Amino acid sequence: MAAVLQLPNELSQVDQIRMSCNAADRFVQRYYEALSSPSSSVEKLTSFYAPLDDNTNIAKSFFGFKNIWYNGNEFSSPAEFATAVKDYLTPARYEIDSYDCQPLNPDLNPTRDVVSDPSKGGAMSLLLSVSGECRIGPMKESEPMDFSETIILVPNLNHDRSGPTSHSSNEWVISSQIFRNV
Amino acid sequence: MARGAHGASKSHHSRQPNPHRGGIHKRSPAPRTEKDGDLIMDGIEEVAGRSTRGGRHGKHTPRGAARNSNINPQNLAKAIARNLDNTKTVNMRDAPRGPQRNTQPQNRFDKYDQIVVRGWKDSEAAKSADQGIPQLIAFIDRKASKETNLKLIQESQVRGDNLFIYTKEEDREKILRLNNYQFARAILSVELKREAKVSAIDIKSALKSMVLRRYNETEKLLDLSNLASDPDLERLGMFANQERTSKINAAIATVCEGIWPNNFRRNQAIQSLSFANSNLTSVTQISYFSQTFPKIRNLDLSNNNLDDLKALEPWSRKFRQLDQLILKGNKIETVPDFHLEIMKWFPKLRTLDAVQLRTDDQIVQTMNKIPVSPPIQDGDIDIAQSFITQFLPAFDQNRPAAVATFYTNTSVFSLNVKSRSSGNYDKKSWDKWLGMSRNLKKITSPHGQNQRYYTGLQDIEKCFSDMPTIQHPSFTEEREKWLMECKTVEGLPDPTGQAPYGVNGLVIDIHGEFQEFGSNNQVIATRSFDRKFILGPGEEPGSIKIIREMLTLRPYSGTSRFRPTISPQVHSEPDINTSIPEITLNNGIDVPAGLVVPAGFASPITGKPTEQLQRELITLELCKATRMTLEYAFQCLQETQWNLENAGIAFQTNKDKLPPNAFW
């Protein structure tokens, strides 16, 4: 930790790291559980994604959805992908072997016009890498396949960070995702 | 306040005197702002049991939820179903009540008569914020009962200039006597309103008889085409505007749910729906049917005003079983390649306007999986290519130099080891890597997480020096061992601190393999890896640096999982057909025997970028016209910028030079 960083907001690097790791823990657990559950609705799956890019507000657009690439196929909206998950990727079982997470931009909103208090991580984007094994289709007919994905998480603007930790909504949501079976 | 959802104000009497109003009882003060005042349409909403305002269908009113309104749709459904079973004519008034009868009157129209009061808008009291309604009701109660505290009015409701009041039958005459009474300088008109009493019931039975008349049991078809000129509906004066169309359709959907009261029965009874000739400008006007009949196989939307894909888009994720769609007679058919988009929306769609889009095999194919497609490279691909080709050899040969060249003092690097692969644990020792592995599944202490987070030149160089020696295959010469995807990423921290919203960069994902050397310079393992870079501008103008990097190491798994296999190896003598065919719906995905294409090729599959699909279709056309293999056709088209005509000319010019294996 020799390097000295100029941090543009109130979070120290140690805070950023701790926060990003906690965010990754929660996200990975919830997201792959939802993908593995046949009863997850399209709405439930969509809730893991940022809302469609709001290009009327520059600052807000950084908190918006960009795209999903799944084995070289582009999905341009969370609902489109969630529908495909229900159509093609259900039933499925995901087992996570390894994941790692780094703060990407500690302050997406230095002008404070979208997030007023960044000290709770509400303006930080994250880079998340997840590796594991998935089986698509009924257990007996499916073979395990490794996957690797690269996810950029942004704060969920609809999540209330000021209150006690809530389990009802996701703190961080996917802005960009690249999935590959490997 | 169930009616709050559609903006009407309905007052429920309170028996408690309200001191603020000088003995006037508390009533809902919210005046209805729009002058709809349409009893029939209100009845429709009651039948529908759904709010249809604002186009946000089904979002606010839970379907079938018990409402404090006159008709409980669920009870209605049960009643109709029971009558259906007995094949009797339905008379709602005679419909048997279920045992779960509410304490609320099931149908207030049975119990109360509705009286409409007009003229009060001209009163002095009507100028106040509450339109003087509380005073008016108190006035009517007082004058009709001739007592100060007796309440005759059970409920009231304002619609436009009308105040509807509901009262017990025995009190009706007392209130009607107030006709022509003066209230706050206005003359009141007080009349019995019989239309209201019958409206909801009439609509229900009209809709039900219409639905049954239009239902073809043999064909399993519900033909709701041309509703505007339906005699039953015309009589009721419907379809005056588009908002009504939505309401009526919602009501019809609800009536259908009553006739066929569960998903199973509906799926059994109806496989086809027709909304032909319905003046539809968007399917939002009939959106409820996608909830009521989610599993229909045939849908006829012909001869409407669906002008573009947007008009149909709300159903792009509905009707997952749709087999046949008819759109003729809509301008949407003039949208270029509209059918490709529609095929993507409906994965089982076989025919569009009687033209076959997919064969049975293709449906099986598309239904089984999302294909493995070639890498997507978006953003500045040249930067990504040149970065990878420079970085990897540098990393293999001289790590300190690589660090100095590609990283900065704010760069972050971490790696993680995934020792299991496809259900098997790799035997090859990971000891040399595990000390650095920041697999957050295992490294759960903040100390460990910080220690394995390498930031800045010194940290990263130290980490790199602890890694074993490795050697990557050449990215340019052994490209088949690699997969690279890249995309633009916005909102990176600006190293110069000048851009308030951050700067743009590039995400690069590479998947590949390397050989690991032991202490004696012998190869001890071949491993697979996934390496994710975020590149962005460095501090010096024009420089590009690694901002973030994550490396995942895992047991060797080869390239088969991510490679889209194209292996056209069938040889035959060329039979050259030089005509340039037109691409039509019909032959677009018709692959001739002998030509080998990968699964899903030239098929509109969910998630396949439209440009890629178009290229695949053109490639297929060239293959068919020239009998060139997919690979040669692809190359030829690439060289002619995907212009089919130029590709045909290029083929004619060069065909004699092509090797035999260029043909199928």
Band (A165; pLDDT cuts 50, 70, 90): low
Band (B237; pLDDT cuts 50, 70, 90): low
Q: Rg (Cα) of chain A, in Å, rounded?
A: 17
The confidence score (pLDDT) of residue B624 equals 85
Residue A75: CA atoms inside 13 Å, Cβ hemisphere, count? 25
**Sign of the torsion formed by the C-alpha atoms of A60, A62, A63 and A68:** positive
Asked if B595 and B567 touch (Cβ cutoff 8 Å), the reply is no
Asked if B384 and B376 touch (Cβ cutoff 8 Å), the reply is no
Band (B330; pLDDT cuts 50, 70, 90): very high
Q: Which secondary-structure segment (H or E) carries B223?
A: strand B221-223
Q: Do A87 and B606 touch (CB under 8 A)?
A: yes
**Quick check: B374 contacting A, CB < 8 Å?**
yes
**Residue B48 clears pLDDT 70, i.e. is over it:** no
Q: Distance from B146 to chain A by nearest Cα, in Å?
A: 57
Of A20-34, A121-135, B19-33, B223-237, the one with minimum mean pLDDT is B19-33
Residue of B nearest to A81 (CA): B607
CB atoms within 10 A of CB B211: 21
The confidence score (pLDDT) of residue B560 equals 87
The confidence score (pLDDT) of residue B366 equals 58
By three-state DSSP, how is residue A158 classified? coil
Query: Rounded CA gap, B544 and B382, in Å?
Result: 13
Any idea which residue has 């899903």 for tokens?
Answer: B600
Of A12-26, A58-72, B109-123, the one with minimum mean pLDDT is B109-123
Domain encompassing residue A30: 4-181
Nearest CB to A104; choose among B409, B423, B534:
B534
**Quick check: B19 contacting A, CB < 8 Å?**
no
Of B91-105, B320-334, B482-496, B578-592, the one with minimum mean pLDDT is B91-105
Asked if A132 and A146 touch (Cβ cutoff 8 Å), the reply is yes
CATH number at A9 reads 3.10.450.50
Asked if B567 and B610 touch (Cβ cutoff 8 Å), the reply is no
B residues 260-279 near A, CB within 8 Å?
none
- Better pLDDT: B465 or B616: B465
Number of domains in chain A: 1
Residue of B nearest to A57 (CA): B501
Mean pLDDT value of segment B504-524:
94
Residue of B nearest to A154 (CA): B491
Strands B298-300 and B272-274: parallel
The torsion angles phi and psi of B624, rounded to 5 degrees, stand at: -70, -40
pLDDT digits (tens, 9 = 90+) for B339-372: 888 988 888 899 999 888 888 777 766 555 787 8
